[in-house]
Structure 1
Amino acid sequence: MNITERIGAARMSGYQWLIVALCTFMNCLDGFDVMAVAFTGPSVTEEFGLNGSQFGLLVSVGLIGMALGSMLLAPFADLIGRRPLILISLTLGTIGMFGAAMAPSVTVMGFFRLLTGIGVGGILASTNVIASEFSNAKNRGLAIGIYTAGYGIGATVASVVAKATVGGDWRIVFYAGGFGTLLALVVIALLLPESIAFLEQRRPRGALENINRTLARMGMDSVSQTDLDQAASVREGTRQTSSGWLKQLLTPTILLWITFITIMFGFYFVNSWTPTLLVEEGLSESAAVTAGMAISIGGTVGSVLYGVAARVRTPRVVLIGFSLLSAAMMIVFILSTSILWLGFGIGVLVGALINGCIAGAYTVGPPLYPANIRSVGMGWALGMGRIGAILSPTIAGMLKDAGASATQLYVGAAVVVAICAVVLIALRRHDPESAPAVKEPATA
């Protein structure tokens, strides 16, 4: 076995869980970043005199940056290493958050939102891979679930900071994000190792020593130069048989792209527009932030709940259930917000379910691809998913300016999320993990 296969078969060590925790911490930055804009939306809109379309564009600029970061920065991880790219991305994110906090106009703020998004995109493209690479096969789903929960944690922190500043200076939220990203930069520089898979495949100077140092911390036996040479020979032989993979897997690839697009559409609609829409519906800014906080709180546990459920049923089937329940609860939520305690409770469910859908997409995608092209397949899926993330706030802003109510916007977003379930049903015959359930009556 190569080193990656050895890690997959071995027991998870405390050091590996530390790496997952570090990746989760960095994913918190995504949650804080998106919700910093959402929770300060009413104040930012008032200070800069924005209409719905302009605010939606401000939200989308950050998401466009994430897409650019994922697609343009991520390839450099295979050239310079995952760890250096993460450090560069954290630097960009730090500059972007502090820049947005000091922006004198919406144009300047938009530029720094773009820069922040590029940094976050570069971080997410690398940390998702690292969390998977350092996890064994048994706990990979749980590790990804914990990693995904970082978004909800970061969003909850953003909501707490925003709630504390209601009626005060909204820029404090972005300053807090800047200091948090700067802290992450220091912690990661001190604690995060380079990816073993990168070292094994690219073999830069000192690769063998770095690999064995990390393996020792994981409680695993060291490897020799001969082991690396043999693994390289196997990879080269496998690479020769992988040409034309996109043509062979075109249908499941397109279905997976649609799955990511629909889930991210609903996810970013809920997380970016909720406070602003609730203020428009007559709630106080404090109450709207409280409702948004409920969604964030639910998000901290939703992905872990998905991971637990996926141990019982096929991950794809669990994701169908999560997407349908998410759509239903989104509608119930917007109809119940006039009763604050009820809206808070339903909001927790919405956050848990929609965040669980993100974890589900991360889990369902990889088995569709052979191991030697899995990163390529998932990388494109994540990039395509950002289309939904970018379109969601922009379309919502345009419809709002055209007279759509908060209820109508939420129902529309719920329909998009429900489409995901239909796509996942079509994905059944392409999903290796669904094979044992083929003879069951139409459950999915």
Structure 2
Amino acid sequence: MSGQAINATTPSISTRRAAWTVVGLCLLFNVIDGLDAMAMAFTASRVAAQWSLSAAQIGLLLSASLVGMTCGSLGAAPLANRHGRRRVLLASLMLSGVTMVLCFWSQGYCTLLCLRLLTGIGVGAVLVGANVLTHDHAPPTRRSLAIALQSVAFALGATLGGVLAHQLNDSLGWRYVFLTGGSLTLLVGAVGALWLRESASQLAAEQPGQGYCGLFSHGRWPSTCALAGVCFLLMFGFYFVMSWTPMLLTHSGFSARHGITGGMLLTVGGMFGALLLGLGANRWGCHRLLCMCLLFNAVLMLLMVTATRVPMLAIATGFTAGLLLYAAIAALFVLAPQAFDTPERTRGVGLVLATGRLGAIVSPTFAGVLLDAQWRPQDLFTVYAGSQLLAALLIWRSRRPTLEAG
């Protein structure tokens, strides 16, 4: 124990290298998570055409993995406290990989729906585990950047999913997107089993904490509720834009390839947004940057439908929307682990992300129902712009020292 304390105070070169190895592996896990989470969005139009699905049914397919992600986020904390964060993270990767591969053989709507639910459980647990392990291993001076880079990695994975869909949907079919993604997930899981290390706080047998009720104890509930509420509203808007943009572009007269390209533009912009947030977090503060991103994103959502009528403007708008959305998520991911003490960190981050997943669950299905009710795309974007404005107001009104640390 004394040796660990010395290393925590004056880390050696080998210790720093090992820490950055863990951060790098968590980046890789987020790449895979991004691919697995967004695979359905990039194949939805092909699945709908093959099985004659309604917009509401597609919305349920898009939401299924999000329901699983909620369960995975909430279940990660008690399992990690009992079995260790490393084991839970690796087991979750295996679950995602196996169920992605099984999607290749799905023979109907209900089977695919169940498999996407199970994939989401794995993805949700991986996101929590990777966020906490990155926070625990990254040097304090580089912690905000390291956590923000996790969002860059997620966006990169989503972009990779778009590339796979672009190449495989026409040549081999949508099933091969899931087969390829699942195979990559299993491969990355094997790499993690070889080199991923447990966090020092877990090895030190940290205190179990007070359960989820402890997150709402006196003096802590405002920041917990603020982070959870903002995450709900942010994910509500994020998954509408990310999940429905490809199909909405197709409904507006664009080809399926153009729809996928539009979705990829969002994720490419997202990579730049998360990176810029990480670089600017220490200078301007994540709280301030989060408010700005939410406000600008609300304005941009109001303009997206009009912008699609001009090709170059559509490209710029899609890129900027992705930049703002992912930057906001990166800011929230930086703030979340800092708001909780070590014994409660996994549980606190899991609760915040799980609440966000609730917004993500409601979002695609809500949009699908409104589309079936003949709502125009502009009306939808207006509603979702309001959610981002409300999130900005909530985080601004609940400004506290715990949130200012970012």
TM-score (norm 1): 0.84
* TM-superposition CA deviations, 1:187-243 (whole Å, max 9, x none): 1111111222211116xxxxxxxxxxxxxxxxxxxxxxxxxxxxxxxx69x98xx97
Equivalent in the alignment of 2:151: 148
How much does 1:93 deviate? 0.8
Q: Write the distance in 2 (CA, Å) between the matches of 1:380 and 1:5.
A: 33
Query: 1:42 corresponds to which letter in structure 2?
Result: S
Q: Write the distance in 1 (CA, Å) between the matches of 2:232 and 2:88.
A: 26
Equivalent in the alignment of 2:189: 185
How much does 1:342 deviate? 2.3
Q: Which has the larger displacement, 69-78 or 399-408?
A: 69-78
8 A contact 2:128–2:349 mirrored in 1: no
Equivalent in the alignment of 1:223: none
* Secondary structure in 1 matching 2:198: coil
Q: Write the distance in 1 (CA, Å) between the matches of 2:76 and 2:348.
A: 17
Unpaired runs of 5+ residues, structure 2, are none
Equivalent in the alignment of 2:117: 114
How is 1:57-76 mapped onto 2 (pairs within 5 angstroms)? 57-76=60-79
Equivalent in the alignment of 2:298: 327
How much does 1:337 deviate? 1.6
8 A contact 2:77–2:346 mirrored in 1: no
Query: 1:299 corresponds to which letter in structure 2?
Result: G
How much does 1:370 deviate? 4.2
Q: Which has the larger displacement, 324-333 or 25-34?
A: 324-333
Equivalent in the alignment of 2:318: 347
Q: 1:250 to 1:74 in 2, by over 3 A?
A: closer
Q: Write the distance in 2 (CA, Å) between the matches of 1:4 and 1:295.
A: 44
Equivalent in the alignment of 1:410: 381
Greater gyration radius: 1
- 246, 251, 267: which one aligns with 1:280: 251
Equivalent in the alignment of 1:292: 263
8 A contact 1:302–1:356 mirrored in 2: yes
Query: Does residue 125 of the first structure (1) align with residue 128 of the second (2)?
Result: yes
How much does 1:347 deviate? 1.0
- 166, 182, 199: which one aligns with 2:203: 199
RMSD over aligned Cα atoms:
2.4
- 416, 421, 427: which one aligns with 2:398: 427
8 A contact 2:73–2:351 mirrored in 1: no
Unpaired runs of 5+ residues, structure 1, are 203-234, 436-444
Q: 1:244 to 1:30 in 2, by over 3 A?
A: closer
How much does 1:123 deviate? 1.2
8 A contact 2:128–2:346 mirrored in 1: no
Q: Write the distance in 1 (CA, Å) between the matches of 2:36 and 2:337.
A: 27
Aligned residues: 399
How much does 1:414 deviate? 1.7
* TM-superposition CA deviations, 1:343-401 (whole Å, max 9, x none): 12221111111011111112223444445434433322122111111111111111111
* Secondary structure in 1 matching 2:190: helix
Q: Which has the larger displacement, 323-332 or 279-288?
A: 323-332
How is 1:40-439 mapped onto 2 (pairs within 5 angstroms)? 40-168=43-171, 169-201=173-205, 246-428=217-399, 430-432=400-402, 434=404
- In percent, how many aligned pairs have the same letter? 34
Q: Write the distance in 2 (CA, Å) between the matches of 1:365 and 1:195.
A: 18
Q: Write the distance in 1 (CA, Å) between the matches of 2:324 and 2:40.
A: 22
TM-score (norm 2): 0.92
Q: 1:244 to 1:129 in 2, by over 3 A?
A: closer
Q: Write the distance in 1 (CA, Å) between the matches of 2:194 and 2:404.
A: 42
